[in-house]
Structure 1
Amino acid sequence: MGKIIVLTGAGGILCGTIAKALAREGHKIAVLDLRKEAAETVVEEIKKDGGIAIGISANVLDKDSLEEAKKLVNKILGPCDILINGAGGNHPLGTTSNTHLLEEDLLNGTNDFRTFFDLDSDGIKFVFDLNFMGTLLPTQVFAKDMIGKKGCSILNISSMNAFTPLTKIPAYSGAKAAVSNFTQWLAVHFSKIGIRVNALAPGFFLTDQNRGLLTMEDGSLTERGNKIIEQTPMARFGEPDDLIGTTLWLCGEGASFVTGVVVPIDGGFKAFSGV
C-alpha cells in the first residue's frame, strides 16, 4: 500500500531523484523546496511517469512556512507517513581557502582568501541552521502525523563528512555530524511510538553545489576532485540513482527493525585508509 511521503529539498538533483523513485513505487509524494519552480519541475516529471505528486514552496528554517506546507499536504494527499529531510548545503563564508594553515597565510591580503580566523560567524550559523535546524524543524511539524500509525519513518541526509571531516569545510562537516547524532537521538526518543529514524550518508556525488569545486569547465577533475577519486576504491563519483536502493530499504517494511543507523553510500571511501 502506498505511503504519503514528504521530502524537503526535493527540487535538487539527489532528493529529486529519490522523489521520482518513490513515486514509481506507488507512493504519493509531496515535493517541498524553497524554490517553487524547482519543486514543480520534479512534480511534472513524476506525473508524466504516472505518479501522484504535489509541489510546495517551503522554508525549512521557518516553522510557520512548514506548518502551512503541512496543511496543504494533509488537505491534498493526507497525513504524512514518511519524512525525508533532504534540505542542506554549505556556504563559502564557512569554508577555508587552504587545507592547512601556514604562517604566511596570515599575511595574505587577498579579499576572498580565508584562514580559520577569517571564517564568518553568520556563514557558519547559516550552514548549521540549514543542515541541523532544517532537519529538526520539519521533523517537529510532520512527525506528529505519524503518531499512532504503523510503518512510519524518518530519513535524514547526513554525509561522509560526519564520520571524518573533510578539509576546508568545518561548518558543513560539523553540521552533518550534528545530523547523524540527532538521527540516533531521535531514533531512541521515538522508539516507543513506532517511528523509525535513520539517515543516509552520501559520499561524493556531483551536484549543482559542488560541481564547480570538483570539475573544470571542460569536465576534467580539479585537484580536489582527483584526490577524492584516488581515495574512493570504486574510482568514481556517486550517481543519484545510487541512493535509491538504500532509500527504498530504509523506508520499507524490510527495515522494520532498523532504526538509529547512518548508512554510508560512498563507493568505499570510508573503508579506505589511503595506503
Structure 2
Amino acid sequence: MEALHASNLFSVNGLVAVITGGGTGIGLMMTKALAANGAHKVYIVGRRKEKLDEAASHAPEIIVPVVGDVTSKDSLKSIAAQIKSEVGYLNLLVCNSGMMGPQIPVKAAEASVSAYAAAALDMAWDENVQTFATNSVSPLYTTFAFLELLDGGNKKGNRIGTKSQVLITSSIAGFLRTPGLSYAYGMSKAATTHLTKQLCSTLVPFDIRVNALAPGLFPSDLAAGLISNAKKDPTEEGAFEKSYIPAERTGKESDMGGTVLYMASQAGAYLNGVIVVIDGGRLAGLPTTY
C-alpha cells in the first residue's frame, strides 16, 4: 500500500528540470510547483533577466535563472552545456515559451470582403513567421539540444521512478475554429500538438517520453485580453459566465501545479504521446476540431 501513498506517487524529489518561459505565467506556476515539492534544480530560461531573477527568488537554492533565446540554436546549445557542466543530466524538459502572434483588426462578419482582405494582407509577415518559430519550431530544436541530457537522466536511474520526459505547452487554440483569433497562434499550436505525437514516436528507441499540455485560460500576459472582462479575480469561481468558461473561472496555480506534478512524477509514468487538456471545460462551448 505504501507505493500508493500520494507522497510516493507524486514525488519529484531529486528531479532536475528545464522550463523555457519559466519566469512568468504558466511556466512560473510549473516552476514553483516543482521547487516546492523537492526538485533538485529547476533551470528557467527566458530573455528577460529581471523576470527570471524575480521567479528565482521564490526558491533561490533550487531555481536557476538562465538568460537565453529558444529561437537560437547557439543559445540552446550554450544552456545545455551549462547544465551538463553543473549537474550532468536532466529528467524533465518543459518547452513552454510562446507568443500570441498578430491578429486581424476587423471581423469577417462585420466587414466587406475587400476591407477584410486588405486588413488581413496588412498583417506583418515576419510576425507570423516569428510566432511559428517560437511556438512550433523552438520546441523541436530545444528537444534536440537537450536530448543527451535527457538520456543522461535515464542512465542516472531517474530518481523520480520514471523515464525522462519532454513536456510541451500547446494550447486549446490548436483545436479551435472560432473566428477572429490569431491565425498564427492557432496554427502554430496545432503544429505543436502534432509535433508532440511525432517526437513521441521518434524518441521511443531512447526511452524518452513526450507529452503535451493544452491549457485554456490562465492568468498570463498572453491571456490578458481574453480575461479582462472578469467580474472579479479571474481565478475565483463566478468571475465569468458558464457560457464563457464552464468552471466560471480561469485556471490557477494549484490547477497547473497539480497537473505538472502528476505528469512529472511516477503517477504519470505511463503517459506517452498524450495531450492533456486543462481548460475548465472551455472547449465544450466552442466550435472545435477536438
Do they superpose with TM above 0.5?
yes
Asked whether the 8 Å contact 1:70–1:141 carries over to 2, the reply is yes
Where does residue 89 of structure 1 map in the other structure? 99
For 1:123, the aligned partner's letter is: E
Q: TM-score, normalised by structure 2?
A: 0.81
- The match for 1:156 among 137, 147, 168 is 168
Where does residue 4 of structure 1 map in the other structure? 16
Deviations 1:9-52 (A, max 9, x none): 111121112111101121111111111221111111123xxx51
Q: Percent identity?
A: 27
For 1:121, the aligned partner's letter is: W
Q: TM-score, normalised by structure 1?
A: 0.86
1:122 paired to 2:126: yes
Deviations 1:122-149 (A, max 9, x none): 1110111110112111111012212261
Where does residue 100 of structure 1 map in the other structure? 108
Number of aligned residue pairs: give it.
261
Residue 159 of structure 1, CA deviation:
0.3
Deviations 1:235-254 (A, max 9, x none): 11222331111111111122
Where does residue 7 of structure 2 map in the other structure? none
For 2:98, the aligned partner's letter is: G
For 1:58, the aligned partner's letter is: G
121 and 205 in structure 1: CA distance in 2 versus 1, 3 angstrom threshold: same
For 1:254, the aligned partner's letter is: A
Tell me the distance in 2 between the aligned counterparts of 1:7 and 1:219: 30
Residue 229 of structure 1, CA deviation:
5.7
Tell me the distance in 1 between the aligned counterparts of 2:194 and 2:140: 12
Higher mean C-alpha deviation, range 163-172 or range 212-221? 212-221
**Higher-RCO chain (CA-CA 8 Å, sequence separation at least 6):** 2
Deviations 1:174-197 (A, max 9, x none): 000011000011111112221111
- The match for 1:236 among 224, 240, 249 is 249
Asked whether the 8 Å contact 2:230–2:240 carries over to 1, the reply is no
Tell me the distance in 2 between the aligned counterparts of 1:220 and 1:87: 25
Asked whether the 8 Å contact 1:158–1:200 carries over to 2, the reply is yes
147 and 272 in structure 1: CA distance in 2 versus 1, 3 angstrom threshold: same
Where does residue 223 of structure 2 map in the other structure? 210
- The match for 1:136 among 137, 140, 147 is 140
1:178 paired to 2:196: no
Residue 203 of structure 1, CA deviation:
0.3
Structure 2, unpaired ranges of 5+: 1-12
